[in-house]
Structure 1
Amino acid sequence: MSTIQLTNCRQCKNGKLVSTPLTISPGGMIIPNSPLPPDTVQVDVKNAIISPGFIELQINGALGFHFAHFTDQESYEGGVKTLAQYLPGTGVTGFYPTVPTVAKEVFHAVLPFLQPNDGPDAAAVLGAHVEGPFLAPSKKGAHNDAHMHIPADSSLEEVYGKPNLVQSIRLVTLAPELPGALDLIKILASTYGIRVSMGHSAATFEDGLKALEAGANMLTHLFNAMTAPHHRAPGLTGLMAGPDQPYFSLIADNIHLHPRVVAMTYRSAPDHCILITDSIELSGLSDGVYPGHAQIPFNQVKAGNKVTIEGTDTLIGTCIGLDECVRNLMKWAGIKVEEAVKCVTENVADAMGLDDRGRLDVGKRADFVILKENGTIKETWVLGKRVV
């Protein structure tokens, strides 16, 4: 493989477009534009926009596969691989498989297969996001409260398994108001180096401040599954305006949040906004009726991005792609693509402490997407190789 230099391109950097070539080493890394090896292949991309590869912070499954459903090792590993190969079609080059509240036996079964790893022609698995089981039952959403734990009465090692805390888990969503939650946050952040996000929570503003002091740095799907803000009691949403402002994720699907709420929240802190899909296992499938499962013991009706329980208006989840979330943010907030992609690239890398991806800088992985002005994906590259 030769060195490749993409010329006549505009790179998304810190919310702006920078006209400069992008040079990729034979090993798939971004290298300086000069001097060039004699065998360099130059490719004119005709003034196309290049963004870092998108990073998906919260995804439950796709193509009929759910990260919380385990039958055997072979089928589970096959499901992870298939999903990883599917995601570059939505611009995603790295993702955090998300496991909701399940029995501890399920955590122990699935987490070993969600360690960070790269597959050929696929988005990289970046480690697991465990959304539970330390959540508030009053804000459980679609989570099974029968498997929820109180931090003061539980052990991280018992619930997740110590090897998984070290090797697999990279993000934990929890409710900071629960007894013992602050101690758990300190252990996760200081002992294991795991990021902590607040969500599925009835926490007060003061609870949130204490959690930030303990080491939390994020809010999970802001507004959804948390106490609504009040002008005298802002709750967790009030943390956005403080000096120790956390990162926050939004589901920009026009189902979970009103478009104006997405725009308003983004504009309050563009450098801390993260777009997620929180998509479920019906993503990538045709519309129709699908059987339920252990978490949802009812038939599911998929209509576009929206999935409900058959015969009701009860929302189960969404099936949106991360690229569509980017385009929605562009439209709703009135911003350009180079601004919107920060919420799925640089902001995610900063929130998660990633130093090898998320930016088009020398020394980073050559994971990137080539975009149209409207945010539509033209090509996706992983480690310097076109995969879409």
Structure 2
Amino acid sequence: MAKVKTFINGQVCVHGQALNQSVYVDEQTGLIIQQPGQRPSDFVDLNGRFLAPAYLELQTNGCAGIHFTTFKDPQSYREGLRKVSCHLVTKGVGAFYVTLPTVHREVFAKALPYLRPQTFGGGADLLGCHCEGPWLNPAKKGAHDDKLMLIPAETSTEDVFGGTESMQAIKLITLAPELEGSQALIERLSQRENVVVCIGHSNADFETGLAALGAGARVLTHVFNAMDPLHHRSPGLAGLIASPQAPYFSLIGDGIHLHPAVLTMAFRSQPRKCILITDSIEMAGLPDGIYPGHAQIPHPQKKEGNRVTIDGTETLIGSCSSIDECVRNLSKWSGCSLPEAVLCATENIVNMLGDVSRGVIEPGRRADFVVMDDQGQVLQTWIKGVQVYNRS
């Protein structure tokens, strides 16, 4: 007879609401089940705290001193991934996608074979890679190296990433839809390669954005950042979030990349399409100071709190926020409930990806949970019904 673990006396975050109900987990499979016929063998008393699906980290370039473009050898790269995995569960993350920015083809070729979906004992699962580039617009390069940016019409995925082994790791690609050959590439990636196409680092207009969505693009990458600003007569890509064909869209919720009022406006326009990301870099979780560059940023980097710039400039490189912090920020700034904010780091993401294995607390899905207090502070993280983090 299967052993059943029951989570009781909690506020369970389901579809943006807090429900007073018990959650049952088959300890053998690590899946959520219906209320069993036999008496559960193990109880977890939540004492009125929130139980939510474990967060998904859709866009991270690194954290805890690890940047994913730094590849010395297979063993150290795997150890770096493990370190990140174990760090992320302390932030309530159950699964993550590694982001590789615009880098030399040699870096893609070295790193991608090690970024295929995999698990780490006691840590968050790696679900694959999000390639942010190299088909981006140099005019909206942000912290990317414009000398490495390519034109879709002049290159192929094989040229850039390598063969089958590399492509098996790639689950999302961000590109600029106005570049020559982008429409054909979007169709190929979304229809034949089963890759989620995101659009960003672009100065495309609204109409070009609509055409990209028609070709199969599904997501806007960090809306308002690295794209033309929203204008009342020329809405650009940002205007797509309020259109009848609204895509999913990601927002960096650190209060640096976006003003809280802008974050709130975007969230309120389409709460079920809004996705929170950190766009974190390797200095997340490290002290403030000056840090060396790497394969993406060949310049010293300056960390001040969650803000990181190329030293001596105002160019933002990425964020040092964590996804739980972004969830708390959204709830505080927009006035939405904590369960509503949780949607943007869980259910909305798996709905965009078509992933029915996780991200929602319902029978048949993985028992990946985060336990929080009423302020959204992470207290515990559970992976497949096993506690992997406990803030004592």
Shared fold (TM-score, shorter chain, > 0.5): yes
Partners of 1:284 and 1:2 lie apart in 2 by: 37
Partners of 2:338 and 2:55 lie apart in 1 by: 13
Aligned to 1:30: 32
Which residues of 2 match residues 205-244 of structure 1 at below 5 A?
205-244=206-245
Partners of 1:89 and 1:61 lie apart in 2 by: 15
Deviations 1:295-327 (A, max 9, x none): 323322212111123344433221000000001
**Identical pairs, percent:** 49
Aligned to 2:303: 302
- Cα distance, 1:192 vs. partner? 1.0
Q: TM-score, structure 1 length as denominator?
A: 0.97
Deviations 1:243-270 (A, max 9, x none): 2210000001111011100011100110
2:269 maps to 1:265: no
* 308-317 or 245-254: bigger deviation: 308-317
Aligned to 2:87: 86
Partners of 2:293 and 2:159 lie apart in 1 by: 29
Q: TM-score, structure 2 length as denominator?
A: 0.96
Which residues of 2 match residues 337-376 of structure 1 at below 5 A?
337-376=338-377
Deviations 1:109-158 (A, max 9, x none): 10111111111111010110000000001001111111111000001122
- Cα distance, 1:291 vs. partner? 1.9
Partners of 2:122 and 2:200 lie apart in 1 by: 33
Partners of 2:40 and 2:12 lie apart in 1 by: 24
Q: Contact 1:165/1:192 (CA < 8 Å) preserved in 2?
A: no
Partners of 2:117 and 2:317 lie apart in 1 by: 28
2:161 maps to 1:186: no
Aligned to 2:11: 10
Which residues of 2 match residues 165-184 of structure 1 at below 5 A?
166-184=167-185
Aligned to 1:378: 379
Which residues of 2 match residues 321-336 of structure 1 at below 5 A?
321-336=322-337
Q: Contact 2:102/2:296 (CA < 8 Å) preserved in 1?
A: no
Gaps of 5+ in 2: none
The count of aligned residue pairs is 387
- Cα distance, 1:12 vs. partner? 0.7
Which residues of 2 match residues 95-244 of structure 1 at below 5 A?
95-164=96-165, 166-244=167-245
Q: Secondary structure at the match of 1:96?
A: strand
Q: Contact 2:10/2:22 (CA < 8 Å) preserved in 1?
A: yes
Partners of 1:194 and 1:227 lie apart in 2 by: 25
Equivalent position amino acid for 1:54 in 2: Y
Q: Secondary structure at the match of 1:126?
A: strand
Q: Contact 1:252/1:325 (CA < 8 Å) preserved in 2?
A: yes
Aligned to 2:286: 285
* 341-350 or 141-150: bigger deviation: 141-150
- Cα distance, 1:238 vs. partner? 1.4
Partners of 1:282 and 1:12 lie apart in 2 by: 31
Q: Contact 2:101/2:296 (CA < 8 Å) preserved in 1?
A: no
Partners of 1:172 and 1:53 lie apart in 2 by: 24
Q: Secondary structure at the match of 1:125?
A: strand
Partners of 2:135 and 2:312 lie apart in 1 by: 31
Q: Secondary structure at the match of 2:9?
A: strand
Which residues of 2 match residues 66-81 of structure 1 at below 5 A?
66-81=67-82
Equivalent position amino acid for 2:35 in 1: N
Q: Contact 2:54/2:370 (CA < 8 Å) preserved in 1?
A: yes
Partners of 1:220 and 1:316 lie apart in 2 by: 15
Partners of 2:339 and 2:26 lie apart in 1 by: 25
Q: 1:8 to 1:211 in 2, by over 3 A?
A: same
Partners of 2:288 and 2:241 lie apart in 1 by: 37
Q: Contact 2:200/2:227 (CA < 8 Å) preserved in 1?
A: yes
Equivalent position amino acid for 2:158 in 1: E
- Cα distance, 1:165 vs. partner? 5.6
Partners of 2:8 and 2:332 lie apart in 1 by: 29
